[in-house]
Structure 1
Amino acid sequence: MTRVSTSGNYSSVLTNLMSAQQRQMEASDQLSSGKIGTDLKAFSRNAQVLTAMQTLNTRLTGFTEQNAFTSNRLEMQDLALNKAAEAARMTRDALSNALAADRADALITELKGQFANAVGALNTRHAGKYLFAGGQVDTPPVSARQLSDLTLSPTAVADSFHNDDYIDKARVDETTTLEIGQLADDLGTPMFNAFRDLQAFEEGANGPFTGKLTAAQRTFLQSQIAVWETVQGDLTTAAARNGTVQGQLESVKRGLTARQNTVAGMIGDVSDADMAKAATALTQAQQAVQASSQVFLSLKNVSLLNVLQ
């Protein structure tokens, strides 16, 4: 005798239908996202490895973002240091031109302009902070505004600088810290002393520098050429030192990029779905859903009453 259980059949078919729908949804999600799953449960035994790699990738991303900011800062410092070195070169050239012409008609005007350029370079800001101020990033490191400020007192040059002794550093990866800061007084004191000497001579008994050079003025200017060559050389060296740090940072950035690419590949090996396999699974799940649906519909015509009739 055949036993007929309508409720049991419905329950079995419904279970199969729901299971097929779940497989269809999972396969569809994998095809649309390209990932095996959306949470750690989907990766079972690889979940711990995936978590560790994602943590590492987050840390590397943090270094990469910070290094981009540091790179911009170093580029700004390069511009400022080269501007200061150029001011020194132009000052030396102004002295040489005056000697060559044996006249100093425009000398002081040129010196004032180059002093302003030097002050502007040392007061350069990046992201709203003064680059050469040490830890006093909200205070301009140079307060002198004109050549005559340098001869107000014996300590006028030293009094013109307001940076502290803190030299900024940047941690660019887990094991590397670069010294990226330079200080206004270290950079500017020799230059300001040389400007002060020119201004003091201008204000002294053998000044001012106007018209044809006197013998005393010629001798003094000749002595200053070597001074300004040294000033320019020191500032060029400071710019080169900044360039060396830039090179080190670029090397670290390349290493971080390579590591990020490797980690991304490892994460993909764990989390990326096999698209061909997912497509096949979707097709099979769709077919199972259709088959279960058809069986479910056919049960409407199967009942114990039909048998008894």
Structure 2
Amino acid sequence: MNRVSTSGNYSALLNNLMAAQQRQVEAGNQVSSERKASDLKGYARDAETLTAVRSMRNRVDGFLDQTQILVSRLSMQDNAMGQVSDAAQSARDAIANALATGSGSTLMQELQLAFTNTVQGLNTKFQGEYLFAGGQVNTAATSAGSLSDLTAAPTTASLFQNDQFKTSNRLDESTTLQTGFLASDVGGPLFDAFKTVQAYSETPAGNFGGSLTDAQKSFLEGVLAGFDTVHNNLINTNARNGLLQSQVDNARQDLSTRKDALEESFGDLTNVDMAAALTRLQQAQTSVQAAAQVFQGLKDASLLNYLR
């Protein structure tokens, strides 16, 4: 024969009420956060998989951040190389125009302007660092300022301050690209072409102040081919930078696809089934209400009331 006591009934009812309240809290948290749990303990056997997916997602996020910076860097390099290439074309055009008009009165001024644009392109900065200086990112890639510096220096190579370090960037776990270019490689041949004209202009026969002499015309016709070659090489160098941009864009798209897949996997592990969570919340609320009503009824059914 089982004994029925008021304290026993209260104890059983309170346990049921607290269990219902706990289920209500858990279901409410899932509905409000749209997550199955707030910590790894709540994911039980999926915790290890969840940790691995989160680690991969963080690694992909890191690569995406790096590629975004690299996209901006390569774009800046493209603009700088384009400026140097345009300067070479401008110098070539200035020589061709002098030959066409038979006058060299403005030739050296135009060449100085083209040279200034060349130096500015080679000394381009990205995020406060010189792009074409190799590892010497805090030192201007070239110290030249005017055409006369080319003939004053022992060699054009001495005017470049870059070292031989070429920047490399890791796109993902298995791909690394060499993305850096050196000022001496990009601008060296163009400096030599400018120096040839400047050195001639400093000779008695090279005064381009008025109408061109036959000797001056012959000289300028000879240097045109050199500027054409330099310009074509600069275009090819810029094209190499463009290929790097294409590779980085492709890598960024692949990383974005991987990130989306990992986000989906992460969501499958952590996101709660809202319909089921709402159903559990409603059931828990009903259980709490029912337990509360029974608790109220139990107060009125106390044995003490009958003993009185």
TM-score range, shorter chain: over 0.9
Which amino acid counterpart does residue 270 of structure 2 have in structure 1?
S
Matched-pair contact (CA < 8 Å) for 2:153–2:159: no
Report the alpha carbon displacement of residue 209 of structure 1 after superposing the two structures with TM.
1.0
Three-state SS of the structure 1 residue aligned to 2:169 is: strand
Report the alpha carbon displacement of residue 44 of structure 1 after superposing the two structures with TM.
0.9
Match of 1:177 in 2: 176
Match of 1:125 in 2: 125
Distance 2:238 2:8 in 1: 85
Deviations 1:222-250, CA, capped at 9 Å, x for gaps: 11111001111111111100011111111
5+ residue gaps in structure 2? none
Deviations 1:272-308, CA, capped at 9 Å, x for gaps: 1001100100110110111111122222223221122
Deviations 1:176-211, CA, capped at 9 Å, x for gaps: 001100000011110001111111111112122111
Three-state SS of the structure 2 residue aligned to 1:138 is: coil
Give the 4+ runs in structure 1 shifted more than 3 A: 1-4
Aligned: 1:215 with 2:214: yes
Match of 1:71 in 2: 71
Match of 2:148 in 1: 148
Distance 1:226 1:286 in 2: 88
Matched-pair contact (CA < 8 Å) for 1:4–1:304: no
Match of 1:295 in 2: 294
Three-state SS of the structure 1 residue aligned to 2:245 is: helix
TM-score, normalised to structure 2, is: 0.97
Three-state SS of the structure 1 residue aligned to 2:97 is: helix
Aligned: 1:251 with 2:250: yes
Matched-pair contact (CA < 8 Å) for 1:4–1:303: no
Match of 1:260 in 2: 259
Match of 2:98 in 1: 98
Aligned: 1:158 with 2:118: no
Which amino acid counterpart does residue 147 of structure 2 have in structure 1?
L
Match of 2:45 in 1: 45
Distance 1:154 1:274 in 2: 76
Matched-pair contact (CA < 8 Å) for 1:180–1:245: yes
Aligned: 1:272 with 2:266: no
Matched-pair contact (CA < 8 Å) for 1:123–1:141: yes
Three-state SS of the structure 1 residue aligned to 2:206 is: coil
Distance 2:22 2:137 in 1: 59
Deviations 1:243-279, CA, capped at 9 Å, x for gaps: 1111111111111111111111111111110011001
Distance 1:82 1:8 in 2: 88
Match of 2:82 in 1: 82
Distance 1:2 1:246 in 2: 83
Which amino acid counterpart does residue 103 of structure 1 have in structure 2?
S
Which amino acid counterpart does residue 66 of structure 1 have in structure 2?
Q
Report the alpha carbon displacement of residue 3 of structure 1 after superposing the two structures with TM.
4.2
TM-score, normalised to structure 1, is: 0.97
Match of 2:55 in 1: 55
Distance 1:65 1:105 in 2: 52
Report the alpha carbon displacement of residue 2 of structure 1 after superposing the two structures with TM.
8.4
The aligned runs of 1:2-17 (5 Å cut-off) are 3-17=3-17
Three-state SS of the structure 2 residue aligned to 1:206 is: helix
Distance 2:106 2:30 in 1: 76
Which amino acid counterpart does residue 36 of structure 2 have in structure 1?
I
Three-state SS of the structure 2 residue aligned to 1:104 is: coil
Distance 2:170 2:49 in 1: 27
Deviations 1:98-151, CA, capped at 9 Å, x for gaps: 111111111111111110000000000101111101111111010000000001
Three-state SS of the structure 2 residue aligned to 1:178 is: strand
* Same amino acid, percent of matched pairs: 47
Matched-pair contact (CA < 8 Å) for 1:141–1:163: yes
Task: Identify the range of structure 1 (12-21 vs 218-227) with the bigger mean alpha-carbon deviation.
Answer: 12-21
Which amino acid counterpart does residue 70 of structure 1 have in structure 2?
L
Distance 2:105 2:14 in 1: 103
Match of 2:231 in 1: 232
Which amino acid counterpart does residue 240 of structure 1 have in structure 2?
A
Matched-pair contact (CA < 8 Å) for 1:34–1:273: yes
